[in-house]
Structure 1
Amino acid sequence: MVAKVTDMSSLPDWPRKLSAQQAAVYVGLTEPTFLKLVKTGVYPEGQAVPETRRIVWDKKLIDRVEDARSGLAASAAPNYDDEEWEKWQP
């Protein structure tokens, strides 16, 4: 069973793969609001973890979405998989 972590202050850094609840906290939203924005395409769909029922969101991809939404220059963002980014660019 996977433990639910909502208080990330005890962690040295956010995990790379986030649950829906963690991803929502990461971007400052409630989980229902985050999932609504996923459905409308603001945030990317989560990825299934093979051989489990878990769905996770890539923190770095969320960071790219937030960088684009805040107006940061694309060149200032880390160089992630451009093909994956192009699918979810707001």
Structure 2
Amino acid sequence: MLSRDQAARYVGVSPVQFDREVSTGRWPTPERRGSRVTWDRRLIDRAQDKNSGIVASSESSAHEPTVDPWA
């Protein structure tokens, strides 16, 4: 979990720019835990994969684990 400043640094923008991009949907919304607001780094990675076209939108939103065909 990343703080606002950490998440902004992670994606390479200022905290103010990060807030703007969260509000437009480029990045995921934070989780609130009491007074603390944090971002899941894996969700940020998935959003970037979707934004760059590496992964289709439907694939990036899947939260189900991959099934092992050999199990």
TM-score normalized with structure 1 length? 0.60
What stretches of structure 2 of length at least 5 have no aligned partner? Answer: 65-71
Corresponding residue for residue 64 of structure 1: 46
Counterpart secondary structure, 1:72: coil
Structure 1 gaps of 5+ residues are 1-16, 83-90
1:78: Cα distance to partner?
Answer: 8.0
The equivalences for 1:34-73 within 5 A come to 34-49=18-33, 52-73=34-55
| 2:23 partner amino acid | K
Larger Rg computed on CA atoms: 2
Alignment identity in percent? 39
What RMSD in Å do the two structures reach over aligned CA positions?
Answer: 2.1
> Residues of 2 paired with 1:40 and 1:70: CA distance?
16
Relative to structure 1, the CA distance from residue 79 to residue 68 in structure 2 (aligned partners, 3 Å threshold; closer, same or farther) is closer
Number of matched residues? Answer: 62
The TM-score normalised by the length of structure 2 is 0.75
In the aligned structure 2, how far is the partner of 1:45 from the partner of 1:35?
A: 10
